[in-house]
Amino acid sequence: MLAIKGYYRQGHIELAEPIPSDIQSAELKIVVIPSQDSGKSAIPADAYHVRCHTSEKEFKQIGLTAFFDTDDDVHVDWEKYFGLK
């Protein structure tokens, strides 16, 4: 994955730096950060984070739910195993 900064002005997207020549095709994900002169304020980054209090909840949140409650997991206290308690 590669992050490249760019600008959107009056219907056109302008890249601030070129995409490396060895990349022949790519899927793009665009994050829009309104400029200060647009009159709109950006959402604080903390508003996007959902904080979990246990590592099990964090793993479930990132999509590893299939691992939990299996024979490999059921008798392991992962916080204790990794020294977090």
Q: 48, 56 in Cβ contact below 8 A?
A: no
Amino acid identity, position 65: T
Q: Is the pLDDT score of 42 beyond 70?
A: no
What pLDDT shows up at residue 65? 64
Q: 3, 16 in Cβ contact below 8 A?
A: no
Q: What are phi and psi of 9, to 5 degrees?
A: -140, 125
Read off the pLDDT band of 49 (50, 70, 90).
Answer: low
Q: Which of 62, 54, 50, 58 lies closest to 80 in space, CA to CA?
A: 54
pTM score of the predicted model: 0.37
Q: Is the pLDDT score of 19 beyond 80?
A: yes
Higher pLDDT, 14 or 84: 14
Q: Is the pLDDT score of 6 beyond 80?
A: yes
- The CA distance from 42 to 34, in Å, is 6
The token pair at 41 is 């304020």
pLDDT digits (tens, 9 = 90+) for 51-69: 666 766 776 666 666 666 6
